[in-house]
Structure 1
Amino acid sequence: MPDLEPTPPSSVLQRPWVALLAIALIVGTIALAFAWIAGWLTPRRLTPQRFTNAIEAGNGEVYSGFRRAHAKGVCVTGYFEGNGQGATFSTARMFAPVHTPFVGRLSVGGGSPYGLDGNARVRSMALELNSDDGQQWRMAMNSFPFFGVSSADGFYEQTVANAPDPATGKPDPAKLTSFAAAHPEFARFAAWAKDTPWSTSWANTAYNGVDAFRFIDSNGRARNVRWSMIPQAAFAAMTPEQRKAADGNFLDEDLRTRLANGPLRWDMVVTLAAEGDPVIDPSQQWPEDRQHVTVGTVVIENSTPQTTGACRDINYDPLILPRGVEGSDDPILAARSAVYSVSFNRREHDIAGGDAGAATGKTPPREATR
């Protein structure tokens, strides 16, 4: 008796294989994407992992459980007081005349949590603001007014050139000379580091966002901006002799003394770019005649050791932004965000593995990235 069931067309019989091939293609594409991001397919390509490796090598020692950069610092808490002026340029709730609480960190440059404050040329302020509409804004600012280089590759090459030679414990002068020749823009930064007076305190230091961002107003208009935190405390300079004689932790001691007498304040001053100003090159400053707007005040009320403070586990990624603020196309801004993430994950792995302090024999605080 003939088979009454119709024979399915060959295309139907092949469909399971088509589906399997499609799944395999998707999985393979994802695997290739991860391999590309990790740099396995292009070992010479600059990746966040490779950059973080260079930072660790530049420190001369990995302090397990600590930040890879700006390892020494203190936690601070307080609030940002908007004055309403920023609302003209951005819809970010922080710019309204309200108090926005923050958890912050003051730190010094370098990869050692035991370094001497008098030897740290760079000082930094990081903030995590949490607004009453559920938005969050993380900032990472530095005492220098511009970066030494104009690209992420240059930033990496600077890190490699500054790594200590195992034979001397200091950077190789030939590598530094070669780096400076390849990046003539670095001369501006070198002049700043050499000639700009050092302040006596975290409290009287100005901190700069350095990278460009975009503020978006209520009409959807975007403006390129940079900002600085300008201290209300009077600036006072330190001589080299004073730095040499100062206690290795004088910044923390000074901060606690000042806070015992009341809160410390910085005005947030936003600079608006004009047509043609370099937005993607953080090694170039904008002209002084650009429009400057004071949009509020940072108020620090308390400080705590970073071993137990609330800033301990915060990654101060500068691309975590509220509505009304966007990152620019500055490649160094993107590189900072990516490297912070890798650094954070490595420190969390240090802690989870229980090996914090293995590099030094000391017990470090449990920390996250800067």
Structure 2
Amino acid sequence: MSLFGYTRAGREPGGPRPPSPLLWIALIALIAGGLVLAFAWLAGWIGRDRVTAQTFTDAIEATGPPQPGFRRAHTKGVCVSGVFQGTPEGAALSSARVFRQRQVPVLGRLSIGGGDPHGADNKARVRSMALQLVSDDGQEWRMAMNSFPFFAVPTAEAFLEQTRAGMPDPATGKPDPAKMAAVLEKYPSARAFQQWAKTAPWSNSWANTAYNGVNTFRFTAADGSHRFVRWSMRPQAPFEDMTPEQRAQSDDDFLSEEFAQRLAQGPVRWDMWVTIANDGDPVNDPSQVWPEDRRQVKAGTLTLSSMQPQATGACRDLNYDPLILPSGVAGTDDPILAARSAVYSQSFNRREREIASGKAPAATGKEGAR
């Protein structure tokens, strides 16, 4: 008896009729075709209205002129380095090694919002901080934080809708106000974010800005207990608002120049504060702010001591994916968190290909691929 229980001469006496070779060919073709369609669907080659990393990155690119070799968002920035020192209180919340190691090396990036690599610092509403912590057991923790206190929209679909509303109309070269008005009408959190952008003071330094990880993560302690948390890097330097002169100045790079002057006088520090959710707090919606009375724990201190141009610095080729996490820290089902991770990866791959193929500007001076 051969494969499938049939002899070369045909079926066994009284046995079932063997399947037709054409049937097997058709079945194999169906399976292969299904795999191809599944791959194309995941890759975003079909179903273009789906929220995929490809369609999302395409939408971000369409909001401005092409900038090959640069990050698609938070494009302008500098590389920074230093150390992180955890606290016993942080170690009690999470088993992550970074809270127990005496000092953890940090490679980071300070940046401004927007997609212009040569944008004016005093015109950018958002300041950002990204960090890579590598503990002595080889585990990595990457963070991506911003100066806003909450996210503008609750879902990945809404995020894509908001991004597309910022795309310029071919007829005018500017975004269509009606499309953005529709987003604001549809999402109350987008209106609240707009209000924050209009009324909150603008910091005059990266050093005195608080950076918030608006997404929720799960900390697991050594005893197996877990808590949902959000964290912030709060500056030890006192907050100072931008002066009218700084708002009007023509120096596009005053943030990096000011930060370099601070570092010349000594390291710059932030304290990491972890806010712990109560039962019922929204953990999968970064557009919702938790009540101010939630328990807060100082989990560590970040010290930055040096700065390098991102065109030639070590942070240039680093993807600050917020879902690269150590043991003791895990993501949640927050759809914005998943979208950020996927789009960061897509953006990273595109700019690395552009750099490798020579499409990016030469890394000279303040210019060059980031």
TM-score over 0.5 for the pair: yes
The residue number in structure 1 matching 2:234 is 230
The residue number in structure 1 matching 2:216 is 212
8 Å Cα contact 1:307/1:364 also seen in 2: yes
| TM norm structure 2 | 0.90
Of 241-250 and 121-130, the range deviating more from structure 2: 241-250
1:19-34 residue pairs with structure 2 within 5 A? 27-34=32-39
8 Å Cα contact 2:309/2:366 also seen in 1: no
Residues 1:299 and 2:303 are matched in the alignment = yes
Residues 1:249 and 2:234 are matched in the alignment = no
Residues 1:271 and 2:275 are matched in the alignment = yes
Which whole-Å CA distance do the structure 1 matches of 2:60 and 2:182 have between them? 19
CA 1:277–1:20 in structure 2 vs 1: closer, same or farther (change >3 Å)?
Answer: same
The residue number in structure 1 matching 2:4 is none
Which whole-Å CA distance do the structure 2 matches of 1:26 and 1:130 have between them? 43
Aligned with 2:157 (options 153, 158, 161): 153
Residues 1:352 and 2:356 are matched in the alignment = yes
Give unpaired runs (5+ residues) of structure 2: 1-6
Which whole-Å CA distance do the structure 1 matches of 2:90 and 2:23 have between them? 56
Which residue identity lines up with residue 369 of structure 2 in the other structure? R
Superposed CA RMSD in Å reads 2.4
What do the CA deviations read for 1:262-319 (whole angstroms, capped 9, x no partner)? 1100000000000010111101110000000001011101000001101010000000
Q: CA deviation at 1:167?
A: 4.4
8 Å Cα contact 2:101/2:136 also seen in 1: no
1:31-70 residue pairs with structure 2 within 5 A? 31-58=36-63, 60-70=64-74
Which whole-Å CA distance do the structure 2 matches of 1:214 and 1:198 have between them? 31
Q: CA deviation at 1:355?
A: 1.4
Give unpaired runs (5+ residues) of structure 1: 1-5
The residue number in structure 2 matching 1:99 is 103
- Secondary structure at the aligned position of 2:98 is classed as helix
Which whole-Å CA distance do the structure 2 matches of 1:203 and 1:67 have between them? 22
Which whole-Å CA distance do the structure 2 matches of 1:118 and 1:363 have between them? 17
The residue number in structure 2 matching 1:309 is 313
Q: CA deviation at 1:13?
A: 8.6
8 Å Cα contact 2:311/2:366 also seen in 1: no
The residue number in structure 1 matching 2:368 is 365
Which whole-Å CA distance do the structure 2 matches of 1:28 and 1:182 have between them? 40
CA 1:130–1:21 in structure 2 vs 1: closer, same or farther (change >3 Å)?
Answer: farther
Which whole-Å CA distance do the structure 2 matches of 1:15 and 1:366 have between them? 59
CA 1:289–1:35 in structure 2 vs 1: closer, same or farther (change >3 Å)?
Answer: same
CA 1:26–1:297 in structure 2 vs 1: closer, same or farther (change >3 Å)?
Answer: farther
The residue number in structure 2 matching 1:3 is none
Q: CA deviation at 1:221?
A: 2.0
8 Å Cα contact 1:313/1:366 also seen in 2: no
8 Å Cα contact 1:83/1:97 also seen in 2: no
Residues 1:85 and 2:89 are matched in the alignment = yes
1:126-137 residue pairs with structure 2 within 5 A? 126-137=130-141
Which whole-Å CA distance do the structure 2 matches of 1:278 and 1:29 have between them? 38
Of 228-237 and 217-226, the range deviating more from structure 2: 217-226
Which residue identity lines up with residue 365 of structure 1 in the other structure? G
Which whole-Å CA distance do the structure 2 matches of 1:158 and 1:292 have between them? 32
Aligned with 1:141 (options 140, 145, 156): 145
